[in-house]
Amino acid sequence: MRTIQNKPEVLAPAGTLEKLKVAIDYGADAVYIGGDAYGLRTRAGNFSFDQMREGVAYAHARHAKVYVAANIVAHEGDTAGAGRFFQTLREIGIDAVIVSDPALIEIAILEAPGLPVHLSTQASAANYETLNFWQSEGLERVVLAREVGIEEIKEMRRHTDVQIEAFIHGAMCIGYSGRCVLSNHMSMRDANRGGCAQNCRWKYDLFEMPTAGQREEETDAKTPFTMSAVDMAMIEHIPDLIEAGVNSFKIEGRMKSIHYVSTVANVYRQAVDSYCADPEHYQLDPAWVDELWKVAQREMSTGFYYGTPTADDELFGKRRKRPSYAFVGEVMAYDPAKKLATIRQRNNFGVGDQIEFYGPHFTHHTETLTQLWDEDYDILLRAPDAMMICKVPVTQPVKPGDMLRRANQLV
């Protein structure tokens, strides 16, 4: 029986220390985070050096890795202090830094030798000559441009042995490899320096103006459009990615919730492990696809992997499908004698709701909530207060770190 020896890495986003721990607990081999400088997600919960130390200790104790994104397009003055920043990352034990700007790459290599450098997708690497160039400069991994197709990846692998990382799930920028100037133009916030206002997600209307300054015809105001792509999901094509030679499967979403991070990491962990264990008998589990629809997201497509996206891969008109569950809490403790779970609330839920518990290794079970107490055992009908501690009876064992969802009506 053939097995895959070089199993690809499942790489999850971690916008906070909590998300880092959740991602690893739910199956990620590695996480990528941001620091207080040089990254493209200034509004994410970026890490202080002390938080990085705690995150690295947590990850390394569980045989996982931590990468830091420092992928801005640097303007004059932006590189000040970068050498010391990279040196500190090396001292903390960060496993690699993800960089796009050549000046920052050079600073990392020269001033923090021994710190592995990965090329960011912002650099738009889309051919094997480019991959070989960056490898010759000392980089060990390249995150491919998001516009690269499966056949192109196969060609790259035939001509290079540099590690290849590729996005396989999450929100996709409408700009070429994320290099967009809409935010700069419309909001005075530089997307390439961490300030993206996500203008492509705004609602727009179309007007016909054959004569300058004269508005002739207006589209139906009930059908506004965006310049926004749907989300990527390659769950149905794991064999193609592995056989093409992708070494790291990257999930987008450093600003997403622990519900998203835990669910998506859990799904791709199962798919990768299943294929690598027995490629000949691998089958897509429909439950994996259903699971991805339990988290908040847009419609899903395969991006550029199998051809140029069409209008179906952009957001026009009404949503074609909506998430089927709402995240409502996490298990803090379980009393097996009383069959009682202690829950930290994350969203309103209460008696009569159908609640799904899920955990690492793709464990699931469903309960109809019959009783609810606060932490002092006062009876409740609903748990309305954010982060409140409450207790619920369960018919099956649960574990600290398991999550709770409330079933919604699927639209």
CATH at residue 122: 3.20.20.380
372 & 304 share domain:
no
Phi/psi at 251 (nearest 5 deg)? -100, 130
Q: Do residues 269 and 7 touch, judged by C-beta distance below 8 A?
A: no
Work out whether the CA dihedral 17, 23, 25, 29 comes out positive or negative.
negative
> Of the residues 283, 316, 349, which one is the last residue of a structural domain?
316
Confidence at 212, pLDDT banded by 50, 70, 90: low
User: Token pair of 309, please?
Assistant: 């996206």
pLDDT at residue 174, rounded to an integer: 67
411: confidence class by pLDDT, cuts 50, 70, 90: very low
DSSP 3-state percent helix, strand, coil across the chain (nearest 5): 30, 25, 45
| 220 lies in some domain | no
SS (H, E, C) 323-357: CCEEEEEEEEEEECCCCEEEEEECCCEECCCEEEE
pLDDT bracket for residue 100 (50, 70, 90): very high
Statement: residue 107 has pLDDT above 50: yes
Q: Looking at the domain assignment, is residue 55 inside a domain?
A: yes
Of 237, 173, 206, 249, give the one whose Cα is nearest residue 9: 249
For 111-155, the three-class secondary structure string (H helix, E strand, C coil) is: HCCCCCEEECHHHCCCCHHHHHHHHHCCCCEEECCCCCCHHHHHH
Structural domains counted in the chain:
2
54 lies in the same domain as 21: yes
CB count, 10 Å around CB of 212?
5
Query: Given the DSSP bridges, would you call strands 248-251 and 231-233 parallel, antiparallel or unpaired?
Result: unpaired
Window from 188-202, 281-295, 312-326 with minimum mean pLDDT = 188-202
**pLDDT for 47-73, tens place per residue?**
999 999 999 999 999 999 999 999 888
* CATH code of 342's domain: 2.40.30.10
Among 232, 67, 32, which Cα is nearest to 146's? 232
369 and 297 in one domain?
Answer: no
Do 144 and 97 belong to one domain? Answer: yes
Asked whether the predicted pLDDT for residue 284 surpasses 80, the reply is yes
In a domain, 198, yes or no: no
pLDDT number for residue 75:
86
Q: Does residue 352 or residue 309 have the better pLDDT? A: 352
Q: What is the pLDDT of residue 223?
A: 59
Please indicate, yes or no, whether residues 368 and 299 belong to a single structural domain of this protein. Answer: no
Do the domain assignments include residue 339?
A: yes
Question: What band does 199 get if pLDDT is binned at 50, 70 and 90?
Answer: low
pLDDT digits (tens, 9 = 90+) for 369-407: 999 999 999 999 999 999 999 999 999 999 999 999 998
- Statement to judge: residues 329 and 380 lie in one domain: yes
Query: What local confidence, expressed as pLDDT, does residue 38 receive?
Result: 77
Q: Is residue 83 part of a domain?
A: yes
pLDDT of residue 205: 66
Higher pLDDT: 23 or 213? It is 23
Flag whether 209 is in a domain.
no
Question: Does one domain contain both 264 and 118?
Answer: yes
Cα distance between residue 68 and residue 31, in whole Å = 9
For 221, other C-beta atoms within 10 Å of its C-beta total: 7
* pLDDT, greater one: 340 or 2: 340
Q: Is residue 53 part of a domain?
A: yes
What is the enclosing helix (H) or strand (E) of 389?
Answer: strand 389-393
Greatest alpha-carbon span in the chain:
78
Q: Which of 297, 316, 335 is the last residue of a domain?
A: 316
For residues 399 and 356, state if they share a domain. Answer: yes
For the question of whether the overall pTM of this predicted structure is more than 0.85, the answer is yes
Q: Count Cβ atoms within 10 A of the Cβ of residue 392 and give its class: 0-12 exposed, 13-18 middle, 19 or more buried.
A: buried
Domain range spanning residue 384?
A: 325-407
Residues 309 and 334 in one domain: no
* Residue that finishes a domain, picked among 268, 299, 316: 316
Tell me 186's DSSP state.
H
Are residue 52 and residue 89 in the same domain, yes or no?
yes
**Whether residue 18 sits in one domain with residue 105:** yes
Percent of the chain beyond pLDDT 90? 70
Q: Are 144 and 66 within one domain? A: yes
410 pLDDT above the threshold of 50:
no
Do the domain assignments include residue 224?
no
Q: How many CB atoms lie within 10 A of CB 223?
A: 12
Percent of the chain whose pLDDT exceeds 70: 81
Q: In this structure, which amino acid lies at residue 295?
A: V
Among 93-107, 177-191, 225-239, the least confident range: 177-191
Residue 108 has a pLDDT of 97
